[in-house]
């Protein structure tokens, strides 16, 4: 079993039977249940299961039906991208998308960007450009800053031409991939004008600035490659023999990373993070251990991990993600750490909906969604307890329950890696969203008391 997706739940024992039911429905020309299809695609798939979901995705792309958001995606590059097409279909299913990927003719970047012809010969929802450095680089003698500046400007000219061609020829935005990091010769490469490492960094900053200005969207391939490790990301044999820009074995992971961006484009990112309390925001059980007995901060490795996770959660809120609490606890006891513990970073005012009672978690999450005025598909849920995670998945399959595990040291990695909170470049409205949902929840609570 691969570990590409540790934030997904483990493969169910009856997974094959569930998929067979969906395949039978699709074979009859009908669209299977949306939630059930998402569920089987959003598990820790091995190679065989991955291929089966890829086939299911291709079949569903030909069936008319509601539920999934359809995306026609063009793939443009000067290397082979065909290996991404089927994995993109599978990754899309896990995020509520039906992605049909269409690869441009090999090395068709210049033709698409600078000629009148549309090599895709269809309308698209997005064009993803994954460019090799050889497409962008001009002459860059070492230590020649002027030549490096010109090379970066040429890269910007090509990116701009691709973005304009996507708009004019296919009526859609361009998504331009950053350049992955390279294997450096020395530690001084970044300080050496003309070096490959420095050029890639400058190009990536240029692409980031262009995305911030709304000229194109950006897939941060560099960030994903750094997370994986450049030695694992780059396959020199496949690169030279099959013209593949990255390790083919990593296509499911790359596809999922791209699909998270496509989900953000179509409004399918999570808008709210629902949090358990005991052993999720602090160590221990507040009802049993009391305020002095819970573990947070206090110069311990475990306590510092909880502080780091709270800081990460606050960072999500600053990006417009609304926060909610869902805890089996007495309300007053559950609020105590927020009000009195000196090491708590999260405060009551950061929480839009505070559901602490003895009802089951699924009932409380439904109540949270109602108070926020959000659909269940807009919620992500974090809980250290595997039994609670499984119950919520079973009863509320549209809620994205993240497999964070039980060690708080990995919570940040699992939540960030899930891609559920991927977003387009932020604006002021995004930053104010968490407060606006909090106000909406407060109004709903007041009405409920009347």
Q: Rounded to an integer, what distance in angstroms lies between the CA atom of residue 329 and that of residue 321?
A: 24
248 & 129 share domain: yes
Could you tell me if 7 and 404 are in contact, meaning their C-beta atoms sit under 8 angstroms apart? Answer: yes
For the chain, how many structural domains are there in total?
3
Report which DSSP code applies to 169.
I
pLDDT of residue 224: 97
Please give the residue range of the domain that contains residue 48: 1-62
**What is the pLDDT, as a whole number, of residue 429?**
72
| Per-residue pLDDT, 277 | 98
Given this model, what pLDDT does residue 438 score? Answer: 67
Tokens of 262: 């496509």
For residue 7, what pLDDT is reported?
A: 97
Q: Which of 130, 118, 162, 157 is nearest to 243 (CA)?
A: 130
Q: Which of 357, 339, 346, 317 is nearest to 437 (CA)?
A: 317
Closest-CA residue to 275 (of 200, 198, 344, 192): 344
Residue showing tokens 């959003």: 42
Residues lower than pLDDT 70 in the chain = 1-2, 137-138, 434, 437-450
Q: What is the pLDDT of residue 330?
A: 96
Q: 172 and 146 in one domain?
A: yes
Q: pLDDT tens digits, residue range 24-73? A: 999 999 999 999 999 999 999 999 999 999 999 999 999 988 889 999 99
In 95-184, where does DSSP find H-type helix? 109-114, 133-136, 145-165
**Contact present, 73 and 101 (Cβ < 8 Å):** yes
Tokens describing residue 27: 């074979």
Q: Is 164 in a helix, a strand, or coil? A: helix
Both 388 and 280 in one domain: the answer is: yes
Same-domain pairing of 173 and 208: yes
Q: Is the dihedral of CA 161, 164, 169, 174 positive or negative?
A: positive
| 330 and 438, same domain (yes or no) | yes
- Residues whose CB falls within 8 Å of the CB of residue 342, separated by 6 or more in sequence, listed in order: 297
Q: Which two tokens stand for residue 425?
A: 């470049």
In this predicted structure, what is the pLDDT of residue 448? 52
CA 380/CA 90 separation, integer angstroms: 20
pLDDT of res. 440: 64
For residue 177, which of 213, 225, 139, 214 has the smallest C-alpha distance?
A: 225
List CB contacts of 75: < 8 A, sequence separation 6 or more: 81, 82, 84, 85, 101, 102, 103, 104, 127, 128, 130
Residues 249, 124: Cα–Cα separation, whole Å: 27
Q: How many Å apart are CA 372 and CA 274, to the nearest integer?
A: 11
Boundary of a domain, candidates 26, 45, 62: 62
What the block records as the tokens of 100 is: 């049909």
Are 272 and 317 within 8 A, CB to CB? Answer: no
Q: Which position has the token pair 């929480």?
A: 351
Q: From residue 234, give the alpha-carbon distance in Å to each of 69, 207, 225, 230, 251.
A: 32, 21, 8, 6, 12
Give the CATH number of the domain where residue 244 resides: 3.40.50.1110
CB atoms within 10 A of CB 439: 11
CA 427 to chain centre: 19
Structure token pair of residue 321: 């993600």
Q: Is the CB of residue 251 less than 8 Å from the CB of residue 87? A: yes
Domain with 281 in it: what CATH number?
Answer: 3.40.50.1000
| Strands ordered across the beta sheet of 351-357 | 351-357, 322-328, 272-275, 379-382, 400-401
Question: Domain end: 62, 90, 107, which one?
Answer: 62
Residue 442's pLDDT is: 59
The domain boundary, picked from 265, 289, 317, lies at 265
Given this model, what pLDDT does residue 107 score? 78
Is 75 in contact with 85 (CB distance < 8 Å)? yes
pLDDT digits (tens, 9 = 90+) for 366-413: 999 999 999 999 999 999 999 999 999 999 999 999 999 999 999 999
Nearest CA among 293, 280, 291 for reference residue 325: 280
CA atoms within 13 A on the CB side of 361: 26
Instruction: Please indicate, yes or no, whether residues 350 and 441 belong to a single structural domain of this protein.
Output: yes
SS3 402: coil
pLDDT given for residue 1 in this prediction: 44
Tell me, yes or no, whether 257 and 379 share the same domain: no
Say whether both 56 and 98 belong to one domain.
no
Q: Is 423 found in the same domain as 297? A: yes
Residue 450: predicted pLDDT: 42
Are 389 and 444 members of one domain?
A: yes
52 shares a domain with 94? no
Same domain, 314 and 238: no
Name which of 222, 181, 227 is nearest 417 in CA terms.
227
């Amino acid at each position: 079993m691969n570990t590409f997706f540790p934030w997904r739940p483990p493969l169910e024992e009856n997974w094959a039977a569930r998929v067979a039911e969906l395949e039978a429905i699709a074979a009859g020309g009908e669209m299977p249940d949306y939630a059930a299809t998402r569920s089987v695609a959003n598990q820790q798939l091995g190679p065989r299961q991955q291929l089966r979901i890829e086939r299911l995705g291709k079949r569903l792309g030909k069936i008319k039906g509601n539920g999934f958001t359809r995306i026609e995606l063009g793939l443009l590059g000067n290397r082979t991208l065909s290996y991404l097409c089927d994995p993109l279909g599978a990754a899309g299913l896990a995020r509520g998308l039906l992605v049909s990927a269409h690869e441009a003719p090999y090395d068709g970047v210049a033709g698409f960007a600078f000629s009148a012809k549309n090599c895709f010969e269809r309308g698209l929802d997005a064009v993803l450009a994954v460019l090799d450095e050889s497409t962008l680089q001009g002459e860059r003698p070492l230590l020649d800053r002027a030549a490096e500046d010109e090379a970066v400007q040429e890269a910007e000219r090509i990116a701009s031409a691709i973005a304009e061609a996507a708009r004019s020829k296919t009526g859609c935005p361009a998504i331009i991939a950053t350049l992955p990091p390279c294997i450096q010769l020395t530690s001084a490469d970044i300080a050496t004008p003309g070096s490959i490492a420095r050029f890639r960094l400058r190009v990536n900053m240029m692409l980031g600035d262009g995305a911030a200005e709304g000229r194109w969207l950006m897939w941060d391939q560099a960030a994903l490659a750094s997370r994986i490790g450049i030695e694992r990301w780059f396959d020199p044999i496949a690169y030279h023999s099959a013209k593949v820009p990255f390790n083919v074995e990593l296509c499911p992971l790359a596809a999922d990373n791209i699909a998270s961006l496509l989900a953000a484009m179509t409004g399918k990112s999570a808008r709210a993070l629902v949090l358990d309390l005991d052993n999720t925001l602090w160590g221990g059980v507040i009802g049993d251990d009391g305020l002095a007995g819970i573990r947070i901060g206090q110069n311990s490795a475990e306590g510092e991990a909880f502080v780091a996770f709270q800081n990460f959660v606050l960072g999500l809120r600053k990006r417009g993600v609304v926060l909610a609490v869902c805890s089996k606890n007495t309300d007053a006891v559950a609020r105590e750490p927020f009000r009195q513990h000196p090491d708590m970073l999260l405060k009551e005012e950061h929480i839009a909906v505070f559901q602490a009672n003895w009802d089951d978690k699924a009932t409380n999450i439904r109540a949270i969604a109602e108070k926020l005025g959000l659909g269940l598909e807009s919620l992500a849920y974090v809980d250290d307890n595997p039994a609670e995670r499984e119950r919520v998945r079973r009863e509320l399959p549209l809620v994205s329950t993240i497999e964070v595990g039980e060690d708080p040291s990995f919570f940040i990695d699992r939540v960030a890696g899930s891609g559920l909170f991927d977003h387009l470049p932020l604006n002021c409205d995004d930053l104010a969203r968490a407060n606006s949902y909090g106000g909406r929840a407060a109004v709903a609570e007041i009405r409920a008391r009347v």
